Structure 1
Amino acid sequence: MMQEAEKTIVAKIRTDELTQTKREALDYEFSEFQAYIRGDDDADLYSATKQAADAYIDTENLRDEHEYPWFIRNDVFDVEQHDTELADWWMNIPVSQVYGGVNVPLNPHEPIPDDAEVKDSKIPKEYGEYYVHLSIKQRVELQDQYDGVLAVDLGSRWVTVSVALPSRETTFYGEEIRQLRRHHQELRTRLQEKGAYDTLVSAKDSEWRAIDDRLHKISREIVEDAKERNALIVIGNLEGIQNQDKGSEMNRRLHSMPHYTLKQYIEYKARFAGIGVKVVNEYNTNQTCWRCGEKENTERVGQGRHLCDECGLDDNADKNGATNIGKKGLGKDIQSPLSSLGGVYEPSLELGDNDETAAQVRVRLRDDSETPPSTSESAGRAK
């Protein structure tokens, strides 16, 4: 089944290879863009760029001293592939100072598909360097046959844990995000005490860039893992996370984790890879034992351990929750033992806004013997 997929490709403009005239033209246009969005109607700016600014910039909530991305309409710029010694990709950017625009070399973080439709995009400036965030749309074929599921649980200690069914091979992601946030929280406290507010804003931007980079890597690894396993991705919904009440400290951790952004990244990367994503309700997934299905006699011990008094399961708590999310993705009762899941199932996927129908996919799980539980909490994979 065909579906539309959208994503952003980040490409660095090779400013080190630009002539002085081209660099000055980019700097001038970017500066005039900042002036225009702050109310200077006489800013010397390419006319279509003014229209893009009116469409995309919320001028009522601009931050002082913050430089905003320069938006450009898709009908006024071109991105082409030219195999040259300098770069494989080139972009013609419209500017008011140079008739016909400036042609600049690009270094994209991944190839730009030949059949992709390039949409309105933007050019941010970071530490004196220009980047192009190319928004692209493409028709891709959604895979409809899978050999298993990759269940994803969004948590607090680890930003996410994935469990592959039927093998239960587990990967823990993102503990370093929590460490990064703790470090920047301490840094912000020191800067506030010193009254270094300009540096504080820069530190917040730096923190988010570091976290966002890690979220992209995590989502890419999850999608690549699903593709390698030929697995449907099943992810717990965010409402279940946000409504949890685990005490003030754990609630703070849950709400500070960038779950929504990570979920978005997983979904759009999966769509481009033709991998289906099914979102399920997380209700009772953490409280129910994945092995025997008992709920009443299970509990979380500390932050990372799940103990079942009925069958004696002593396992990682997030791993337990992710396994039950995988069961729900197959339309199974989470109180059914994992060993009963062999067979063929046909989950229904709700596609995006541009698709009118749901997709039926077939997931084939072989009858598997029960895999011994793991209590490993180290980052990376564990069976």
Structure 2
Amino acid sequence: MKRVVSEQSSAAVSPDKLLKEAAATLADPSFSLDVITWQKQYGRHALPWQNTRDAYRVWLSEIMLQQTQVAAVIPYYLRFLETFPTVQSLAAASSEEVMSHWSGLGYYSRARNLHKCAQTIVTEYGGVFPSDPALLEQLTGIGRSTAAAISAFSYGTRAAILDGNVKRVFARVFGVERYPGEKAVENEMWLRAVALLPESDVEAYTQGLMDLGATLCTRNRPSCQRCPLAHRCVAYASGRTNELPVRKPKKAVPEKETTMLLIVDKNQVLLEQRPDKGIWGGLLSLPEIASETDGDATHFDAALALAIAPFGVSASLEKLPMFTHVFTHFKLHVTPYRIALARRLERAGQDNYVWYPADKMVDAPLPAPVKKLLLAVFREPDLLS
């Protein structure tokens, strides 16, 4: 009978209580103190989005910094704010204008989500970002870690982050032996992230974790001798900083091919707006057809002629050098063809096509490799040789 009562009592323990008990065993105030003390003396304090409580600017920086280095983000961030100084101005902008200012920064779904999120903030929150991380996380393009960072930096909320830099710090300091991208491992890291939160100085602690990962605990050649956590770091003590965090299991990188059509008429080039979903979603780009290697030459020539015909009569056709663009999950090999028209036809009812002036190409909302190609063709043809 006693055994049955004991089982019932154990079954009645709530998951939340078990999580709190587990978190209590991971708590260590000295960890956050080390991070905060280091950040205040050696961390970054002069980034354009720091020293402000403006949630709009904090949010913009956090979205731009997702999977992108600080040095690459700074010029985009400053230019973006010049055109869209407030969430209201961003919400009121056209999609093309937003994508144009994002062009070259990559991961274009961020820009579409940014625009949609701004509109939600204006229409549903009166232009004021909520302080509750749970509400922020419900907004388009904002995950748990980003929501916590926005809330912490804007409102001083005690919320845990767990971005790529923090995962790397945790994996090395605490000797995590499994790939952090696994859901179970990530859940354990979240538990630790919450348990280690300090009672005060959350902004300095949050920034400190980011700074450690970005400046000292880097992916390659970390500066362990200057790290405030070196005395407690498992990877440093065991000489395994090159092994931790555990790398993602390698898979063969798929390779794809496509043919892009650079159709030109009177110093204008034909561009097609890509679907919102998929690579380069929402941007303008060059029309595409299947690569020549996908079929025999006769079929390719027929497909090429069929693709050109609705826009005019071809005067010349030139095959340009192939280039390769590497995405996160695959490589894309692109063979461009430059087609000059002898006579242009106006294609009615095709709203996804536009003739774009060559001298405005630098400001067009184009994928970076496509913009580079077009600028080379129209401004620096020697780059193609």
| TM-score band w.r.t. shorter chain | under 0.3
Instruction: Say which structure is richer in helix.
Output: 2
Pick the structure with greater CA Rg: 2
Instruction: Say which structure is richer in strand.
Output: 1
